[in-house]
Amino acid sequence: MQPQIEIYINVENDWVTPELVAGFQSALQAMLPELLAAPKGPDHVLSSLDMVEISIVDDAAIAEVHGEFLNDPTPTDAITFPYGEVLVSCDTAASYASAHGIAREEELFRYMVHGLTHLHGYLDYEPEDREGLFAVQEPLVKRWFPATGTCKPDNNSR
């Protein structure tokens, strides 16, 4: 089974636009069969979900959830709940992207793929777990980010 993906914008800024999110949603939906064909991690639930809801939030909101559910009140990139909810921070994406010379849109898309990869059962608590997660996640990001329609030369996204 392939879940439907819904993305919600819960921030107001100049770069997380409905058009950007529509491109992300289309690319992620098209990418799902490829992710589901990858070996499942030990805690996989993705194929059993009807819906995955991805919420784009700011650092304050993700820090609040991080503190409440993971006992760490600091901002983070993504938080994934096994019932199919993923929160991603556009502030963290923009900060990381700026520091590493990549497009903030690509980094935000990466966080969404990261959440979906968690739902496919991959963990990232230990270095060897992270390696396995990134081995699945990064080829998907490289292959599917351009399909979002946001990958344009000189898009001033850094």
Q: For 52-70, what is each residue's pLDDT tens digit?
A: 999 999 999 999 999 999 9
Give the model confidence (pLDDT) of 137-149 as tens digits: 999 999 999 888 8
Residue 51 CA, distance from chain mean position: 15
Predicted local distance difference test score (pLDDT) of residue 42: 87
**Higher-pLDDT residue of 157, 128:** 128
Average confidence (pLDDT) over 88-109: 97
pLDDT of residue 146: 87
Average pLDDT, the chain: 93
Query: Each residue of 102-125: pLDDT tens digit?
Result: 999 999 999 999 999 999 999 988
The strand pairing partners of 54, in sequence order, are 7, 86
Convert the pLDDT of each residue in 24-62 to its tens digit: 999 999 999 999 999 999 889 999 999 999 999 999 999
Count of CB atoms situated within 10 Å of the CB of 53: 17
**Confidence at residue 158, expressed as pLDDT on a 0 to 100 scale:** 37
Looking at residue 151, what is its pLDDT?
61
Work out the percent of the chain whose per-residue pLDDT is above 90: 86
